[in-house]
Amino acid sequence: MFDPLKFLTRIGKFFLIPIGISLLLCTVWSGWSTQTWIDRTDEVEGTVIEMVRIRDRDDGGYMYAPLVRFETIDGRTVEFQSTLRSNPPGYRTGQTVSVLYDPDDPQSAAIRGVFSLWLTSIVLGFIGSVFLVVGTAMIAICSRVRKFFARSGVAVGLVASPPPLPH
């Protein structure tokens, strides 16, 4: 016999919660990795020299990414394009921004901002939390429903398979 409560409980236990925990572990790793990178960077002022227009593959519209120029502490001039794209543009040409860069690899630079540094961690954490909460809620609700039916004297899991079709 098919027990829908057991089925939903198993989806929560063996699918949703493990995915949620895995995504939350990825969140921790992503946050640690970002913080480790920030700890070894130098911070300087940079200038947005252009908002690069990039065609969005999904809807054919455009996204904008700032092209930033900055000078390293040892005097080299470096330009980089931010990986964070948005529409409407998040910056304007001529705007001064705070730039973090790796002294050993100045091209490895980022604008100091919550989304440009932490977006991956935020998204992973949000999605992982949703999976974990939904999985836990499914288990809790199924348990309560099972207890309710047990007190009411109604049998659970008596959804029979349909009879086989005649040949």
For helices 114-152 and 4-11, angle between their N-to-C axes, nearest 10 degrees: 160
49 lies in the same domain as 99 = yes
Per-residue pLDDT at 62 = 92
Residue 161 lies in a domain: no
* Long-range pairs, 149-153, Cβ under 8 A, ≥24: none
- Tens of pLDDT, residues 33-85: 999 999 999 999 999 999 999 987 777 789 999 999 999 999 999 999 999 99
Is residue 19's pLDDT more than 60?
yes
Number of independent structural domains in the chain: 2
- Tens of pLDDT, residues 108-157: 999 999 999 999 999 999 999 999 999 999 999 999 999 988 888 776 65
Length of the chain: 167
Question: What count of other Cβ atoms lies within 10 Å of the Cβ of residue 120?
Answer: 15
47 lies in the same domain as 15 = no
Per-residue pLDDT at 124 = 98
| Residue-number span of the structural domain to which 71 is assigned | 41-116
112 lies in the same domain as 128 = no
Give me the CATH number covering residue 79. 2.40.50
Is residue 159's pLDDT more than 60?
no
90 lies in the same domain as 127 = no
Q: From its phi and psi, is residue 62 left (phi > 0), alpha (psi between -120 and 50) or beta?
A: beta
Residue 167 lies in a domain: no
Residue 8 lies in a domain: yes
